[in-house]
């Protein structure tokens, strides 16, 4: 892991955390001890249009960044071909945490129908199926609104009786496609804070699960997911102005506890 690092922002707040997991993407290939690449011929739910592959065209490491690239290339896997392809990686069983601070520095793709996400799911569905066991969305961005991102919790009961709550953060100048920004959550028992570039913009302390008492479901181990989806119910389809390929570049992932 290299030299131990301490989070200076957490330290200045009197709650020093130590770096427990990181990927700086300095090599020339993905570290499969830390990441699994999901292969899914039918997108990721939500009526999304992409196929997720493990091809280097969709997931690779180059120039010090993880590249997750959405393409309009009629890729096929498992006997299924779709108009769009993209990548989705996760740390499940390679990086699983209960509480801590997760920092992801990334540059996001813009364009109608491009949905980039940095998020967390429970490693074990201790309280039942989605969303009774929870979901933590560190960052989601609709490519047609590239100056704002969303931070959301999903919880409550299994779909469709689930609930969610969250807020958005809007840049005063420019877009999240112009440069890298650091997206973070600080997750403590009964409280989750969202930060962008070290600035807190929301705190949540109220949620529930039909499977257990508060602070369930956010009292179990979660893992991290990074992906770029195309289309779907959340944001609509690409149009003629959507640029392909569309890349999310990830400079680093750092987890402190």
For the chain, strand residue ranges (E) read: 19-23, 36-37, 50-52, 59-62, 65-72, 76-77, 80-81, 84-86, 88-90, 96-97, 100-107, 114-122, 135-142, 148-156, 162-170, 181-188, 191-196, 199-204, 222-230, 246-256
Choosing from 140, 145, 213, 221, the catalytic residue is 140
Tokens matching residue 250: 């990830």
Where b means 16+ CB within 10 Å and e means fewer, 84-102 reads bbbbbbbbbeebbbebbbb
Q: Verify whether residue 140 is a known catalytic residue.
A: yes
**Do 49 and 230 touch, CB atoms closer than 8 A?**
yes
Q: Verify whether residue 135 is a known catalytic residue.
A: yes
Choosing from 135, 145, 213, 221, the catalytic residue is 135
Active site residues: 135, 140
């Amino acid at each position: 892991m290299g030299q131990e690092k301490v989070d200076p922002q957490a330290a200045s707040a009197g709650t020093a955390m130590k770096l427990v997991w990181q990927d700086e993407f300095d090599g020339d290939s993905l570290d499969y001890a830390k990441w699994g690449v999901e292969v899914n011929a039918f997108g990721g739910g939500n009526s999304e249009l992409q196929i997720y592959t493990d091809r280097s065209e969709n997931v690779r490491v180059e120039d010090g960044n993880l590249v997750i690239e959405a393409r309009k290339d009629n890729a096929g896997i498992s006997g299924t071909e779709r108009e769009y392809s993209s990548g989705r990686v996760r740390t499940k069983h390679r990086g699983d945490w209960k509480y801590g601070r997760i920092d992801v520095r990334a540059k996001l793709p813009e364009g109608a129908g491009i949905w980039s996400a940095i998020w967390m799911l429970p490693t074990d569905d201790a309280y039942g199926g989605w969303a009774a066991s929870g979901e933590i969305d560190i960052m989601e961005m609709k490519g047609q609104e590239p100056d704002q991102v969303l931070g959301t919790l999903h919880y409550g009961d299994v779909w469709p009786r689930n609930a969610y709550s969250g807020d958005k953060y809007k840049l005063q100048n420019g877009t999240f496609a112009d440069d890298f920004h650091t997206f973070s959550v600080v997750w403590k028992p009964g409280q989750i804070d969202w930060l962008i570039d070290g600035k807190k913009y929301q705190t949540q302390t109220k949620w529930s699960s039909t499977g257990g008492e508060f602070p369930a479901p956010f009292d179990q181990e979660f893992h991290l997911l990074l992906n770029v989806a195309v289309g779907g119910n959340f944001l609509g389809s690409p149009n003629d102005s959507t640029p392909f390929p569309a890349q999310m570049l990830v400079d680093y992932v750092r987890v402190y506890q």
